[in-house]
Structure 1
């Protein structure tokens, strides 16, 4: 499938690095770039509806005053954020106009509890969400954006660490395969770039015949599927030697001179924060390669 809309979420104080990376990808494949600017949420409080009166709480006047103080702090924070976000929006639009891209730029003002839903809404209307170095280094926005775009959307995420060469036309791609649903979805979402690549290496770590849907020759089924779509596929079955699967795949990506790793994103809802931690550890400890993930 072609990537026609790329979503890039950026913080109000982030550099232009992620925007430039996303713009480069869009220019490469002729896609539309949708940019959303989001201020760091105030994690200790939420935006409160302003009505005609102040709700009275069972705990008494102290709780009511705390509610009022929170509301005033939110209003003050909002009044400070708006001019800053408007300046950021104008700067980004000026940058993108110079690149002659199809684009739109907008701002959102969600609180911490609503940010995930805002991200999901935008990601559902895009073919791909880019997570660049600025978001990866943002300990507040980063996890919320990855979780919101990767889970519950059915859409893929391209994670590009600092120093990686971002492309949607990779020459060599390593696919981490284990026949699970998440791996199937990652392959399906990456099908266009896999078929255009010069080499696709399907890598299985400690595969077992007739186990987990692998068949008598683990990897042969997915290789045949990709071949019928026109991809040039080889299958490598790798022993872990007691090492973590991620470490084995990362080293094999180096050995095969891969330009990108495609893999499924695993984990329950309760493990989402751990997923972000795992991704960031992968990024900083493993080879500097774009990581294409789907769930």
Structure 2
């Protein structure tokens, strides 16, 4: 993945930190930054919802807050020596992910900053639009972390499935420049069609051909969840980022994820690059 355009979706009421982090990453990658400030209409209340005067007043406040957030983002970025643009989207909750998905098509990397990460509604819309609808790689940045696009140590979560292979391809350039890549498997099973006789050997060979310094780590779950094992191992090897495939689909606007993906989306303590 060659990162030339980064899209950061931020909330209208709490986007400043996410904008600053996105700007730092763009400066690091010499990439263009697109900021999309997102907000949506409040849902009408009651058994028979109507657009009451109170609802209209609340909507007007939301629109005004959105305009102010856009202007604040432009002021923050105007002091930075990077290429950028700032746009906004105001929609019904059910349609926000469509708008985000359409914008995501034109970026190389989609960011979920710490404030967006802590906002379940916004995070769900970004993941649904960018990761599921548009298939763009997604960088999750939880609070109190130091994200980088130039990590020294990368943990690649590997299970020999297409999604983890896609994540590996998206992170090839990043892993090529890293000091170490830890291909990590939890309770792998040797099989002819899956992991082969020696789980991890095939992907290690593939990465080594790209000049990547690879170590294969095979870990037992020991009664813990796969997500817990991966996160603890990332800490143990001082990984700067976790790279992994995302498993999930959208059905009737319900986003359904597998257990490991869901745990990482909700509870990761390190930046995570996801692809599917």
Q: Same fold (TM over 0.5)?
A: yes
- TM-aligned CA deviation for residue 7 of structure 1: 0.7
Q: CA deviation at 1:149?
A: 1.3
Q: CA deviation at 1:213?
A: 1.6
**1:263 equivalent in structure 2:** 244
Paired residues for 1:146-185 under 5 Å: 146-185=127-166
Task: State the 1:145 CA deviation.
Answer: 1.5
SS in structure 2 opposite 1:222? Answer: helix
RMSD: 2.1
Pair 177,274 (structure 1): closer, same or farther in 2 beyond 3 Å: closer
Pick the aligned partner of 2:212 from 231, 236, 255. 231
Tell me the CA shift for residue 225 of structure 1. Answer: 0.9
TM-score with structure 2 setting the length: 0.91
Count of residues in correspondence between the two structures: 271
Measured after TM superposition, the shift of residue 26 of structure 1 is 0.1
Q: Deviations over 1:236-269 (max 9, x none)?
A: 1111122211111111111111111111111233
Could you tell me how far 1:139 is from its partner in structure 2?
2.6
Q: How far 1:277 moved relative to its partner?
A: 5.4
3-state DSSP of counterpart to 2:70: helix
Q: Provide the TM-score with structure 1 as the length reference.
A: 0.85
Q: What SS does the aligned partner of 1:213 have?
A: coil
2:255 paired residue number: 272
Whole-Å Cα distance in 2 between the matches of residues 85 and 228 of structure 1? 48
Number of the residue aligned with 2:197: 216
SS in structure 2 at match of 1:108: strand
Q: Which has the larger radius of gyration?
A: 1
* Distance apart, 1:74 and its partner CA: 5.8
Q: Name which of structure 1's ranges 214-223 and 84-93 shifts more when overlaid on structure 2.
A: 84-93
Specify every segment of 5 or more residues in structure 1 that has no aligned partner in the other structure, as ranges.
46-62
1:139 aligned residue (120, 131, 146): 120
The runs of at least 4 aligned residues of structure 1 exceeding 4 Å deviation read 71-75, 273-277
Would the aligned equivalents of 1:40 and 1:141 in 2 still touch at CA under 8 Å?
A: no
Q: Identify unmatched segments of 5+ residues in structure 2.
A: none
Is 1:116 aligned with 2:97? yes
Query: Which residues in structure 2 correspond to 1:4-153 (within 5 Å)?
Result: 4-44=4-44, 69-70=50-51, 75-153=56-134
Residue 44 of structure 2 contacts residue 55 of structure 2 at CA under 8 Å; is this kept in 1? no
1:203 alignment partner, one of 165, 181, 184: 184
Alignment check: 8 A CA contact 1:159 1:290 kept: yes
Match of 2:116, SS?
helix
More strand by share: 2
In the superposition, relative to structure 1, how do residues 188 and 258 fare at CA in structure 2: closer, same or farther (>3 Å)?
same
Structure 2: how far apart are the matches of 1:126 and 1:151? 15
